[in-house]
Structure 1
Amino acid sequence: MDSLPEDCVSKILSYTSPPDACRFSMVSSTLHSAADSDLLWKSFCPSDYHRILARVLHPHTLDSSSYKNLFFSLCHPLLLDGGNMSFKLEKCSGKKSYILSARKLSIAWSSDPLYWCWRTVPESRFKEVVELRMVSWLEIRGGIWTRVLTANTWYAVYLIMKISHRKYGLDRVACEVSVAVGEKVQSGKVYLCEKDEKKGKKGSVLKMEEEEVMGVAEKREDGWMEIKLGEFFSGENDEQVTMSLMELGYQLKGGLVVEGMEIRPKHHHS
């Protein structure tokens, strides 16, 4: 391979992955030059990176002195759209992921302080999160277009949340979740928190229906909890993805803290 022109080597390496390119750069001087070239790293950057950069809240944090530096800058979470959305690339694949803040979501009655409370918490990546005070009808919806995602990729959608010490009613009825792309809809049921078995034995909570559920919220590395809403394939056409979580059982509930919804690539499709 040392006898090939540098641009040919860069083109060959573009069919590998960013980690592979970094490893190849240590093999020989020819591969090192090709593996560091702008031609190669531009191929790893998203084709719409100019539009992404135009939406970055703090552009001074980006290093665009080379396409390689730009790629790794995009691998760190960046706030977009005035700080209401987070974006990053996966280092291993260069695929895009997004987090829609609570302000980007449609949450029933979230503008009424009797039902929801908007506040700032130091552990959030966004300026505001929203905490549920009391509702009997829980409805949270989000949306994104496949054109801003990586094409032909399986994605999973998660609600990022926490349960405050003031929680009540969240473990009594399962929530309905769905992810829809065009006419393709995936749906299921989840619990926002573990069922309180002790209370159930005392008879102080309603008897739950025996039903198949997709799961309950799990701990994230960033300290928040997440619960899976579903998954979808981005394809090549531009279609709107709609995600939702609903609990319409008219059970009074409170104590849910919502940070946003994450749309991130799946490594294994189930």
Structure 2
Amino acid sequence: MGANLSSVFTDPNALSLYGSLSSQSPTPKPTLGDLPEGCVALILAYLDPPEICKLARLNRAFRGASWADFLWESKLPMNYVRLIQRVFGDDLPRKISRREIYARLCRANTFDGGTKKAWLDKTTGGVCLSISSKGLAITGIDDRRYWNNIPTEESRFDTVAYLQQIWWFEVDGQFEFPLPAGTYSIFFRLQLGRAAKRFGRRICNTEHVHGWDIKPVRFQLWTSDGQYASSQCFLRDPGKWNLYHVGDFVVDSSNPSMNLKFSMIQIDCTHPKGGLCLDSVVVYPSKIKERLKHF
């Protein structure tokens, strides 16, 4: 009897029941890849676009869910159809997914003869806009004694307007654009001094910078629905690009297209001013204003 019992534990095939159990493989546990794409898409809808793109690399289910039209429809601006018409015209294919539309709008898209660029902030989906110096009305711009257009890699438009010297300084601009409802901030992007590269290193010639510390520059903006803002400040920090805040304005959902006018002026005929690079005017959603400190 004892011998028979011991043989059960030493021989795995002594009982057919134990033999069959030892040959079975464990039941596989469910993984993220087993989730239906529809469920995954509903989860992804709560995330920001950069997070969605990262999770799309996990597996096939997440990759497929990341292409759901309803997911990207919720990330696009409410008026994205009018936005597409304004920026792309008829150049965008008719059959294109919402994810591809979002990706296209996140690029710095050039329009209006190359004088403007529009794009979506990748994190918030907010609409941003930039108007080049060539799209602005600048006093004396056609006289090379005062202004020159110089090429540079430091501009989105590959060129900036450089002021050598002038007495009457005035820059005006105007645009109409279908901005989504929200609060926006407008800035002038300026630099005192002329930047260049020497032996692969950036240098900035500030020899001709003068006149900006005597009287402040005044910035103003007007909107088609009666909003007005103004500010003034001295131009400082030679050799560094700075965003000078003009003011904020609000776009209401009932206003399909905002018409905006703005200006930068410094008139003091007792002294000239010069050595200024004017790159562009930029418009950003006010909620990302803090990030612009590192622009």
TM-score after normalising by structure 2: 0.66
Give 1:35-184 correspondences, 5 Å limit.
35-45=66-76, 46-52=80-86, 54=88, 66-145=97-176, 147-151=177-181, 153-164=182-193, 165=206, 166-181=208-223, 182-184=225-227
What is the one-letter code of the residue matched to 1:163? Answer: L
Q: Is the 1:218–1:225 contact (alpha carbons within 8 Å) kept by the matching residues of 2?
A: no
Partners in 2 of 1:51 and 1:22 — Cα distance?
A: 26
User: In the TM superposition, what is the alpha-carbon distance from 1:83 to its structure 2 partner?
Assistant: 2.1
Higher relative contact order at CA 8 Å, sep ≥6: structure 1 or structure 2?
A: 1
- Report SS of the residue matched to 1:87: strand
Q: Is the 1:154–1:269 contact (alpha carbons within 8 Å) kept by the matching residues of 2?
A: no
Partners in 1 of 2:159 and 2:58 — Cα distance?
A: 48
Partners in 2 of 1:3 and 1:127 — Cα distance?
A: 48
Task: Choose 22-31 or 37-46, whichever is displaced more.
Answer: 22-31
CA shift digits 1:49-103 (9 cap, x unpaired): 43255269xx79x9x9643233123223222233221221011221111110001
- Report SS of the residue matched to 2:81: coil
Partners in 1 of 2:82 and 2:234 — Cα distance?
A: 37
Q: Is the 2:167–2:272 contact (alpha carbons within 8 Å) kept by the matching residues of 1?
A: yes
Cα gap change, 1:178 to 1:78, in 2 (>3 Å): same
Cα gap change, 1:254 to 1:218, in 2 (>3 Å): closer
User: In the TM superposition, what is the alpha-carbon distance from 1:25 to its structure 2 partner?
Assistant: 6.0
Matched, 1:266 2:283: no
What is the one-letter code of the residue matched to 1:233? Answer: V
Q: Is the 1:108–1:139 contact (alpha carbons within 8 Å) kept by the matching residues of 2?
A: yes
Which sections of structure 2, spanning at least 5 residues, go unmatched?
Answer: 1-33, 194-205, 291-295
- Report SS of the residue matched to 2:209: strand
Q: Is the 1:25–1:36 contact (alpha carbons within 8 Å) kept by the matching residues of 2?
A: no
Cα gap change, 1:21 to 1:169, in 2 (>3 Å): same
Which sections of structure 1, spanning at least 5 residues, go unmatched?
Answer: 195-216
CA shift digits 1:119-169 (9 cap, x unpaired): 222332214321112211211112222x42222x11111111211122111
- Report SS of the residue matched to 1:158: strand
| Equivalences, count | 236
Alignment partner, residue 255 of structure 1? 275
Cα gap change, 1:160 to 1:11, in 2 (>3 Å): same
Cα gap change, 1:149 to 1:15, in 2 (>3 Å): farther
TM-score after normalising by structure 1: 0.72
Cα gap change, 1:252 to 1:35, in 2 (>3 Å): same
Alignment partner, residue 187 of structure 1? 230
Cα gap change, 1:193 to 1:44, in 2 (>3 Å): same
Partners in 1 of 2:235 and 2:106 — Cα distance?
A: 30
User: In the TM superposition, what is the alpha-carbon distance from 1:256 to its structure 2 partner?
Assistant: 0.8
Q: Select the structure of larger CA radius of gyration.
A: 2
CA shift digits 1:16-40 (9 cap, x unpaired): 6434655776899877644421232
